[in-house]
Chain A
């Protein structure tokens, strides 16, 4: 099995990520196959963070001094970059949050608050919320809480044996009572890329909102929110070579205007009186308090970096890696892929189990060879329950991943099998 050609000059890309030069205990080179957990950061992002704090640090949107203006321009400039990245119709539709979880919670919480003027944006008894069995816990728990608060029903799409959404019941599951469908674009545990168009089409028929969790798709492929047809999109910065502490909620202006405020505080208001307050227009309506300024600016630099390399090329590189990894893993006796075992509608995250060896032991022994993977239920426990396994081992790829690193994973698995054999 020879490594296919990559559209990326991966050796050059890797020079942008200093951490990849690290050697670990036992003088093993780092083989980082945990990018779905968090990605590594290029020098361009690290330098931008340092530059902001070194030269421009000031609070945003409230200082009249020069540093304040520089900081504000950089923060708002990052918003422009994020809007361009996902082809948002307006920069005002980009809301900075602390992560994807907060973005998802923002939507669940405001719909459940009952504070919206338009009843379409108020959850209550008789309404239905629909998610899927492959969601990250951050797209399950907020909705369970919202259902509990409002009396709305909490429902979900099940999964097929090969790791895809079971859409056979979509006509019944998404119905006139459905207020919102919240689903993941690419599963963080299975790697499945979902058929968003089919879900959106059905949701449109019944007037339900669609929220897409793009945490595992926005970093890896070109995204056009208008083409996707969803109402809201949540994603996080740290999985797309940006800093931690920054996420994004995009929403159609009409939807964000209709939702009531989430957190109250400075900067999200129009005027405050002891008898009541009015609120700023979007995006600031949803950005109470001093935001993660440096992190947003760092994320802007991450967007520049990714678009400079080319998200289409990154995507193609990862598809090549994934096909190679599926071949390699399927060739290891006793390894079983959990999730789609073909390249049809899947991304560069591959979960698997090794016969007779617990994932914790797999991960520990791989770590001793310098191979960093994630083990456990990946914050998506219902997936493990669905497939009757306690946990999986997960390898996930990014623009800096090499074919040699996938060979190292396969070699490591042979060692694991010898050790526990």
Chain B
């Protein structure tokens, strides 16, 4: 059952999330909600120089949205901002590729488990929710805009 959508890796991250919980200090924060299903996530990003020293998050939602946040934390903590945006771009392309994009494990790590989600248009925004929030939080950290804002991911 669920061969393409619910990969074991996704269920693992959902049941045992990595790095969950909001932490201090942080340079930028963003709160995103998916208005069609009520999934929500808050992401905080801490940056030192050009390095992302922490990505912390909290939220509620389906297994796809919550597992995706766990993978995001794992992939992007400790990388440079530039590399993080490159990973974010690759993940977004995979998700929006309607199942036609070959996932690159070197770049995406556990993120390749989400390749099957791309075939379910209704669930793509679940997978992208935390990544959108990450982008906003990082932009705020970089401009010193800092605090939270409400955004809807449509």
Main secondary structure on A side of the interface with B: helix
Decide if B123 touches A364 in the complex (CB within 8 Å): yes
Least distance between A375 CB and chain B CB atoms (Å):
7
**With contacts A390-B60, A390-B61, A419-B6 known, is A359 near B1, CB below 8 A?**
no
Decide if A358 touches B62 in the complex (CB within 8 Å): yes
Decide if B1 touches A360 in the complex (CB within 8 Å): no
* Chain A interface bracket (under 10, 10 to 19, 20 to 34, 35 or more): 10 to 19
Decide if B1 touches A390 in the complex (CB within 8 Å): no
Contacts of B63 in A (CB 8 A): 358, 360-361, 420
Decide if B61 touches A419 in the complex (CB within 8 Å): no
Decide if A360 touches B123 in the complex (CB within 8 Å): yes
Which of B37, B40, B60, B123 is close to A376, meaning CB atoms less than 8 Å apart?
A: B37
B2 sits at the interface (CB 8 A): yes
**With contacts A390-B39, A391-B37, A419-B6 known, is A358 near B61, CB below 8 A?**
yes
Residue from B6, B38, B126 whose CB has the most chain A CB atoms within 10 Å: B38
* Bound Cα distance from A376 to B60, whole angstroms: 14
Decide if B1 touches A368 in the complex (CB within 8 Å): yes
Contacts of B94 in A (CB 8 A): none
Specify the chain B residue showing the minimal Cβ separation from A384: B38
**With contacts A376-B36, A390-B39, A391-B38 known, is A360 near B64, CB below 8 A?**
yes
A335 sits at the interface (CB 8 A): no
Which of A390, A415, A419 is close to B37, meaning CB atoms less than 8 Å apart?
A: A390
Contacts of B142 in A (CB 8 A): none
Specify the chain A residue showing the minimal Cβ separation from B11: A420
Decide if A360 touches B2 in the complex (CB within 8 Å): no
Decide if A368 touches B2 in the complex (CB within 8 Å): yes
B5 sits at the interface (CB 8 A): yes
Decide if B37 touches A375 in the complex (CB within 8 Å): yes
Contacts of A376 in B (CB 8 A): 36-38
Going nearest first, the 6 A-B pairs with the smallest beta carbon separation are A390-B38, A360-B62, A358-B62, A391-B38, A376-B37, A361-B63
Q: Can you list 16 contacts pairing A with B, beta carbon distance less than 8 Å?
A: A358-B39, A358-B61, A359-B37, A360-B61, A361-B6, A364-B2, A364-B6, A368-B1, A375-B37, A376-B36, A381-B38, A390-B60, A390-B61, A419-B1, A419-B6, A420-B63
